Amino acid sequence: MRTRICGLVTMLFMTSAMLIPACCMYGQDTAPAEVAPAATPVAPAPVFQAPAVTPDTEIFKRTPIIDGVVEDGEWDVYYSFNTGDWQITTYADWDKGNLYVAAKSNRPIDLLTILDADNDGWFHGDDNYDFRAIRTSGDSLSLAVARYESRNTKSPVASPVSPQEASLVEIKSTRSEGAYMIEMRIPGALVKDMKLNSGRKIGFQIAVKAMEGESGWVPNAELGDTKECRLTNIKVAALKPLELGFDLRTSTIARGDELVGKFHITNAGNETIDVQSFVVAGEGKAGEYMGSEKVRVDKIDPKKHMSHEVRSVILSSMRTGSWAMGAEVRSASGRIGSALVSFDVVEPFEVELKLPEWQVRTDVKDVTFGVVVINNRRDSVRGKAKITLPTGWELWRGHDTFEFIASGMGNIGTCSFKAKPPLGALGDVPVKIDVTVDGITKTVEGKIVLVNP
């Protein structure tokens, strides 16, 4: 990303006034009038001129931690600039459920994020939002979220979202050693149940200001002043005619499984390219969990293609979310290409509790409770499920535990339990089922309601 550096332009305007003493009148001398001292010129406040910024409109898929601390390797830059004594960098990422926004500055700032979720213009529909994090006393922030209903109108008006909707937005800020940092998570569920996927285009902009009041936003924010941005799970930058690419066997990997893929290099030109080596590794924070591999290359002849297999076990300590693998290609003169690909780390299995949808009458013969286990691993998994009910419930044949098997990724295993309610039982009945696979136990809980016939 290119960064353009502009300075602050200061305009000074000075005025002065002169009092002229009176002259002699009617031939008589008169005492000169007392002359007021000249007013001291006062320079008005400097006029802020926003620097030009060039955002990276390809927003990468990655899941940062929202803790108010912008760490190296955690975010992808949206734009950055230096102007005067102000240095700032903004960041943007996404995953399947959220948009992520952050900023890091050497001065206290306000943060404004503008979103046109359908990228169809500010005067179309009700998918237009702004998120304002404004400084209050003590460098703390106040978050305001507004929706613009612009259907069939040329002058959309902001309406605050409900407190329940606003509470879905997560925001954290910190100050550390002269750095002011803000991180924000915007759930897709807030914005018309927005589905986030690679290739989707959104209208998007991040604006910041360090000055008090409503002026000084960078870039200058007008209503609906957005950039067309595309959500992507792969980024490539290479000197022509070098072409790079990544193929992953699957972009979703369960903890404990192995990430498998290929890194591709192609010389699409008519001359030999002096490629000497390339490195493939976990990129950013993923580098703390994945190994790196350096491969020596002599050269790549014209119209030749080469690929290299990539394998890395996903450790059980790697948190769920979107991560990145990267590759860097070097020649004798330095780096000549790089590529990023995103992949999702998920739990080995997921559990869903199945209970009666309606209130249950006390005169029923028995009640069925169920659990569904979704296998996220490539291999089959076996496990067991154990149910816990209040005292007095009679389980069919006393069976409180069943075993199950789920074959292959995306397949399910199921267990059903039947139990008879005790006489006189009414009201809420808590239900708990523990599911254990390979020594890992997940617990799901719910309740049913017993009512008189």
CATH of residue 216: 2.60.40.1190
214 lies in the same domain as 338: no
Asked if pLDDT for residue 48 goes beyond 50, the answer is yes
Query: Domain count of the chain?
Result: 3
Asked if pLDDT for residue 180 goes beyond 60, the answer is yes
Q: Quick one: pLDDT band at residue 137, thresholds 50, 70, 90? A: confident
Q: Determine, yes or no, domain membership for 5.
A: no
Q: Determine, yes or no, domain membership for 49.
A: no
Taking the alpha carbons of 219, 222, 223, 225 in that order, is the dihedral positive or negative? negative
Distance CA 112, CA 96 (A): 23
Q: Determine, yes or no, domain membership for 46.
A: no
Percent of the chain with pLDDT over 90: 72
Q: Quick one: pLDDT band at residue 225, thresholds 50, 70, 90? A: confident
163 lies in the same domain as 295: no
Tell me the pLDDT tens digit for each residue of 375-416.
Answer: 999 999 999 999 999 999 999 999 999 999 999 888 999 999
334 lies in the same domain as 268: yes
239 lies in the same domain as 331: yes
Q: Which two tokens stand for residue 423?
A: 């006489």
336 lies in the same domain as 217: no
- pLDDT for 1: 37
427 lies in the same domain as 355: yes
Of residues 156 and 357, more confidently modeled: 357
The whole-number average pLDDT for the span 228-248 is 96
338 lies in the same domain as 359: no
Q: Determine, yes or no, domain membership for 310.
A: yes
Q: Which two tokens stand for residue 277?
A: 């080596």
Q: Determine, yes or no, domain membership for 8.
A: no
- pLDDT for 200: 97
Max CA separation in the chain (angstroms): 131
139 lies in the same domain as 122: yes
Q: What are the residues whose beta carbons fall under 8 Å from the beta carbon of 128, sequence distance 6 or more?
A: 115, 116, 117, 122, 147, 148, 150, 156, 224
Tell me the pLDDT tens digit for each residue of 252-266.
Answer: 999 999 999 999 999
Domain boundary among 232, 254, 277: 232
252 lies in the same domain as 398: no
Taking the alpha carbons of 207, 212, 215, 216 in that order, is the dihedral positive or negative? negative
Q: Determine, yes or no, domain membership for 43.
A: no
The whole-number average pLDDT for the span 165-191 is 94
CATH classification at residue 353: 2.60.40.10
173 lies in the same domain as 305: no
Domain hosting 188: range is 58-232
Q: Quick one: pLDDT band at residue 155, thresholds 50, 70, 90? A: low
Q: Quick one: pLDDT band at residue 372, thresholds 50, 70, 90? A: very high
Q: Which two tokens stand for residue 244?
A: 């790079």
Asked if pLDDT for residue 243 goes beyond 90, the answer is yes
| CA nearest neighbour of 380 among 404, 405, 352 | 405
> Could you identify the residue written with the tokens 């010129």?
41
156 lies in the same domain as 251: no
221 lies in the same domain as 292: no
Q: Determine, yes or no, domain membership for 51.
A: no
Per-chain mean pLDDT for the chain? 86
Domain boundary among 294, 322, 346: 346
Q: Quick one: pLDDT band at residue 6, thresholds 50, 70, 90? A: very low
Domain boundary among 232, 253, 281: 232
- pLDDT for 52: 80
Asked if pLDDT for residue 361 goes beyond 60, the answer is yes
Q: Determine, yes or no, domain membership for 6.
A: no
- pLDDT for 154: 62
The whole-number average pLDDT for the span 34-63 is 68
Per DSSP, 284 falls in state G
